[in-house]
Amino acid sequence: MDGIVALLTDDAWLTMPPLPLQYQGRELAARFLTATAFRPGWTSRLIATRANGQPAFGFYVRDPQAGVSHAIGLLVLTLSGSRICAMTRFDNSVLPRFGLPRTLPE
């Protein structure tokens, strides 16, 4: 988590359309990500792709009971130089457009 936060600009945006959740600033984004997507005890995997020319990732969380990782969305990064100025998370419905499955085998 520290590595991701270090890449964020001070005024980075974290949004999740169509949900009305928006967080601006490195500190608020870090708190939200730590409490949700990158919370302790979760093992996550990112599968690289691109969306509108921007780096994007299928975001998966491991289910130790089922032996698979379940998708929790698509994360699109907007860059400013070598830093992340926005992270936009889309729900699973967009995954097929990027050739990404809803589950990954372990």
Please state the pTM of the whole predicted model.
0.87
Both tokens assigned to 63: 């289910």
Which backbone phi and psi does 90 adopt, to 5 degrees?
Answer: -105, 155
Q: pLDDT tens digits for the chain (106 residues)?
A: 778 889 999 999 999 888 888 999 999 988 888 887 777 777 889 999 999 999 999 999 999 889 899 999 999 999 999 999 999 999 999 999 999 999 999 8
Domains of the chain by range and CATH?
A: 2-92 (3.10.450.50)
